[in-house]
Amino acid sequence: MKGFATKAVHGPRLRKEAHGALRTPVFEGVAFEFDNARDLQLAFEGKKPAHAYSRITNPTVEDFEQRIRLLADAAGVIALSSGMAAIANTIMAIAGTGTNIVTSRFLFGHTLSLFAGTLKDWGLEVRFADMKSPDSISSVIDASTRLVFLEAITNPQLEVADLRKLTDVASRYGVPVVLDGTCTTPYLLKSRDFGVAVEVLSSTKFISGGATSVGGLVIDNGLFDWSRNPRLTPLSKQFGPMALIVKLRREVYRNFGACMSPHTASMQSLGLETLPLRIERACANALAISRVLASHAKVNKVNYPGLTASPDHALAAMQLRNGFGAILTFDLASREQCYRFMDALQLIRRATNLNDNKTLIIHPATTIFADYTQEERDALVSDATLRLSVGIEDVEDIAEDLEKGFAAL
Amino acid sequence: MRIRINGEERTLALNELTVTEVLKTQNVEMPEMVSVQVNGGFLARDAFGTTLLKDGDAVDFLYFMGGGAGQ
């Protein structure tokens, strides 16, 4: 198996399922029994591939994890209850009180709230840098820095950073780069090819197959020497490149209990099988719609990395494969116009999710950034901006519905 | 030769075997998912087929994706 689509459909086929089932069954059980005490001991020591308790591992969840591992060509994968759980668990495994992380101000609102609010209260310092500028990153990294965090395509600014430059800078300081690949997934961006140590993502979005379930993933690409992280040095001596996965599986992930349910894993494994088809369609639709919007007299500005006019187009074309993502933004004259536009739509749904099968629209300034001060908000998003998450419908129908919005202005 | 596999002494008929061959002969479950330590040091996956084990070596097969410390 070489192709992404083939791997997505068949997975690694690690074992024959009971009754020859072609789809891994949903193992809803909580605990698993052992034939004897010795086998139980070996399982606890990690020397026998057996499941003991579903908060830690489960056969259906493991099947999903192994499918992702195959697609990402990664060393290890852990599936969690949400994308936010994936980020929180990763940060708590790598950093802690008295250390700092370096990140962009362009972050998903809840990620920023986690970093600058929740984790700050636990003694983690968050330092902000311009991910487009290696010098900006160098200027804030020091001996207490534990990771650099960024999103592959920021939301809703749609900024694309040069990952190779960024990982080179971080590498000079012995710091791993953690990338949120929610809007790209391994189908659009193979993060290990750019030196990214860990990819986290919300599998709720593209992977779930149509907003069927909430889930998250931690993907360790196996590139980082975890002995360079003081918290992981002891585990690195014992477990080598698997130190972070072991730290998570045997401590952080286990203790926080944000596990993925077997039912969710089954649905998301099914979603994974059609991921390439859906992403290609959504990306093609997004490119077509961005061109329609770019030539529309009532649109002041369109932002989409697939447009050659985008300042990040060349970089996105170099880093991404198979498409430029399915998120775009466009500016009208004012917030009031944005609201009128949204309210006139009949097909496109007014909702906060993204990378659904359905096309969704939202006014970011008054929703995603509602908790921010006006000054903070102004630095992140315009009051006249609408975000469109383009789905897999017939593109003519999406364009026709957008015209209903324009007709209301 | 005699080697220790996951802490247990085993006698093997041949005097030189690669890690891949030991994985097969010892019926290690789900070899695609196993990580291997030889004498305490981790072995890269692409070295399984070329690393020869010799008398007195200690080999540990560890699983991180499934199993592990539990309830």
Residues B23-43: pLDDT tens digits? Answer: 888 777 777 777 888 998 888
pLDDT tens, position by position, A153-192: 999 999 999 999 999 999 999 999 999 999 999 999 999 9
Overall average pLDDT of the A193-207 stretch: 98
Rounded CA-CA distance A165/A171 in Å is 10
Q: Does B65 touch chain A (CB under 8 A)?
A: yes
Cα A394 to Cα A46, A328, A357, A400: the distances in Å are 49, 17, 11, 10
Q: Do A285 and A393 have their domain in common? A: yes
What is the mean predicted confidence (pLDDT) over B42-61?
88
Q: Is A26 helix (H, G, I), strand (E, B) or coil?
A: coil
> Angle at Cα B20 formed by Cα B17 and Cα B21, nearest 5°?
45
A139, A248: one domain:
yes
**Measured between alpha carbons, how far is A282 from A275 in angstroms, rounded to an integer?**
10
Kindly list the strands in the beta sheet with B8-11, ordered across the sheet, starting from the edge strand earlier in the chain. B8-11, B2-5, B58-63, B34-38, B41-43
Identify the band that residue A43 occupies on the pLDDT scale cut at 50, 70 and 90. Answer: confident
pLDDT at B57 over 80: yes
pLDDT higher than threshold 50 for residue A60: yes
Is the per-residue pLDDT at B71 higher than 60?
no
Q: Rounded CA gap, A265 and A271, in Å? A: 10
| Mean pLDDT computed over A64-87 | 95
- Chain B contact for A191, CB < 8 A? no
Above 60 in pLDDT, residue B65?
A: no
- B8 part of a folded domain: yes
Domain count, chain A: 2
Interchain CB distance below 8 Å, A249 and B34: no
* Least trusted range by pLDDT, from A65-74, A202-211, B3-12: B3-12
Q: Is residue B44 part of a domain?
A: yes
Residue B70 within any structural domain of the chain: no
Which of A253, A272, A291 is a domain's end point? Answer: A272
Q: Give A283→chain B minimum CA distance, Å.
A: 33
Measured distance CA(A393)–CA(A388) in Å, rounded: 14
The sign of the torsion formed by the CA atoms of B23, B25, B26, B32 equals positive
A9 pLDDT higher than 70: yes
Structural domain containing residue B33: 2-63
Give the pLDDT confidence score for residue B68 in this predicted structure.
36
Q: Residue A126 gets which letter from DSSP?
A: E
User: Do the domain assignments include residue B68?
Assistant: no
Among A224, A254, A272, where does a domain finish?
Answer: A272
- Closest B-chain CA to A56: B70
Task: Measure CA A146 to chain center.
Answer: 20
Taking the Cβ of residue A260 and every Cβ of chain B, the question of whether any pair is shorter than 8 Å is answered with: no
Give me the percent of chain A exceeding a pLDDT of 70: 100
Chain B CB contacts of A254 below 8 Å? 69
Q: How far is A56 from chain B (nearest CA, A)?
A: 7
| Contact status of A262 with chain B (Cβ, < 8 Å) | no
Contacts of A364 (CB under 8 A, 6+ apart): A156, A329, A381, A385, A386, A387
Mean per-residue pLDDT for B13-31?
82
Interchain pair B66, A52: CB under 8 A? no
What token pair was written down for A271? Answer: 């979603």
Q: Does B53 fall in a domain?
A: yes
CATH of the domain at A13: 3.40.640.10
Please check whether residue A23 touches B, CB under 8 A. no
**pLDDT of B67 over the 70 cut:** no
A357 DSSP assignment: S
Does B69 reside within a domain?
A: no
Which domain-ending residue is among A246, A272, A298?
A272
Only one residue has tokens 């998003």, namely A381
CATH number of the domain within which A395 lies: 3.90.1150.10
Chain A nearest C-alpha distance from B61 (Å): 6
Does residue B31 lie in a domain region? yes
The verdict on A313 and A397 lying in the same domain is: yes
Residue A366 three-state SS: helix
Q: Which residue out of A39, A47, A78 would a mutagenesis test of the B interface target, given it has the greatest number of B Cβ atoms within 10 Å?
A: A47
Touching B: A residues 30-69, CB under 8 Å: 31, 42-44, 46-53, 55-57, 59, 62, 65-66, 69
Tell me the chain A residues in contact with residue B32 when contact means C-beta distances shorter than 8 Å: 12, 14
Mean pLDDT of A190-216: 97
A333-360: average pLDDT: 97
Whether the Cβ atoms of residue A154 and residue A181 lie closer than 8 Å to each other:
no
CB A95 within 8 A of CB A229: no
For residue B70, what pLDDT is reported?
32
- Measure A216 CA to nearest chain B CA, in Å: 16
Quick: pLDDT tens for A112-157.
Answer: 999 999 999 999 999 999 999 999 999 999 999 999 999 999 999 9
How far is the alpha carbon of A346 from chain B, nearest alpha carbon, in Å?
46
Strands (E), A186-307: 198-202, 216-220, 301-303
Residues A72 and A207 in one domain: yes
**pLDDT score of A301:** 96
Element (DSSP H or E) covering residue B10:
strand B8-11
B54 domain-assigned = yes
Domain that holds residue A321: 275-407
The mean per-residue pLDDT over the stretch A68-93 comes to: 96
CA distance A378 to A370: 12
Whether residues A391 and A302 share a domain: the answer is yes
A258 plus A283 within the same structural domain: no
Instruction: Please enumerate in sequence order all residues whose Cβ is within 8 A of that of A38, keeping only pairs 6 or more positions apart, or say none.
Output: none
A46/B67 Cβ within 8 A: yes
> Which pTM does this prediction carry?
0.93
Q: How many Å apart are CA A227 and CA A211, to the nearest integer?
A: 38
Contact A202, A86 (CB under 8 A): yes
Q: Do A53 and B42 touch (CB under 8 A)?
A: no
B66: closest CA of chain A, how far (Å): 5
CA-based nearest residue in chain B for residue A69: B65
Q: How many domains does chain B have?
A: 1
CB contact under 8 A, A55 and B71: yes
Over residues A213-260, the pLDDT tens digits come to: 999 999 999 999 999 999 999 888 878 888 999 999 989 999 999 999
| Beta carbons of A332 and A384 less than 8 angstroms apart | yes
- What CATH code is carried by the domain that includes residue B34? 3.10.20.30
Residues above pLDDT 90, as percent of chain A: 86
Question: Tens digits of per-residue pLDDT, A358-385?
Answer: 999 999 999 988 888 888 888 889 999 9
For residue B67, list chain A residues with Cβ-Cβ distance below 8 A.
Answer: 43, 46, 48-52, 57
Residue pLDDT, tens place only, A263-302: 999 999 999 999 999 999 999 999 999 999 999 999 999 9
Of B41, B42, B62, the CB nearest to A46: B62
